[in-house]
Amino acid sequence: MKRAHCGSNAITFRRLCPFLLAITILSSFIFWSRPASTPCNIDAAFAAAAAEQNRSLNILAFSSALNQLSFSVRPPPRLLKIALFVKRWPQRNRAGGLERHALTLHLALARRGHEVHVFTTKSNATLGDSAAAASALIFHPTDPSPAGFLNQALAWEQFGIHNATGRPFEVIHSESVGVLHGRARGLRNLAASWHGIAYETIHSDVVQDLLRGSSEPRSPIVAERLAKVIEEVKFFPRYAHHVATSDHVGDVLKRVYMIPEGRVHIIVNGVDESVFGPDPKSGAEFKAKVGVPTGAKLVIGIAGRLVKDKGHPLMFEALKKAFEEEETFRKGDVFVLVAGDGPWGDRYRELGRSVIVVGPLEQSELAKFYNSLDVYMNPTLRAQGLDHTFIEAMISGVAAAGTRFASITGSLIVGPEVGYTFLPTVESLTACLFRIAADGKEVLARKGEAARNRALRLHTATKMSLAYERLFLCIAKRAPAVKDDDDDYCKYPLPWD
Beta-bridge partner residues of 420: 401
- Contact status, residue 320 vs residue 329, Cβ threshold 8 Å: no
Distance CA 134, CA 90 (A): 12
471 burial (CB, 10 Å; 0-12 / 13-18 / 19+) is buried
Count the neighbouring beta carbons within 10 Å of the beta carbon of residue 148.
Answer: 10
Question: Containing H/E element for 129?
Answer: none
Question: Strand 115-121 and strand 138-142: pairing?
Answer: parallel
Q: Is 148 left (phi over 0), alpha (psi -120 to 50) or beta?
A: left
> Who's near 305: CB < 8 A, 6+ residues apart?
340, 341, 342
Q: What is the mean pLDDT of each run of 10 residues along the chain (497 residues)?
A: 38 42 42 38 47 73 96 92 93 73 94 95 61 79 89 95 93 96 94 92 80 75 82 96 95 96 96 96 97 95 93 96 93 95 94 95 94 97 86 98 94 96 96 97 98 97 97 80 62 91
pTM: 0.85
> Who's near 70: CB < 8 A, 6+ residues apart?
53, 493, 497
Distance CA 370, CA 358 (A): 12
CA nearest 367: which of 241, 278, 445?
278
Check residue 206 and give its pLDDT. Answer: 80
Check residue 253 and give its pLDDT. Answer: 97
Check residue 41 and give its pLDDT. Answer: 43
Check residue 23 and give its pLDDT. Answer: 46
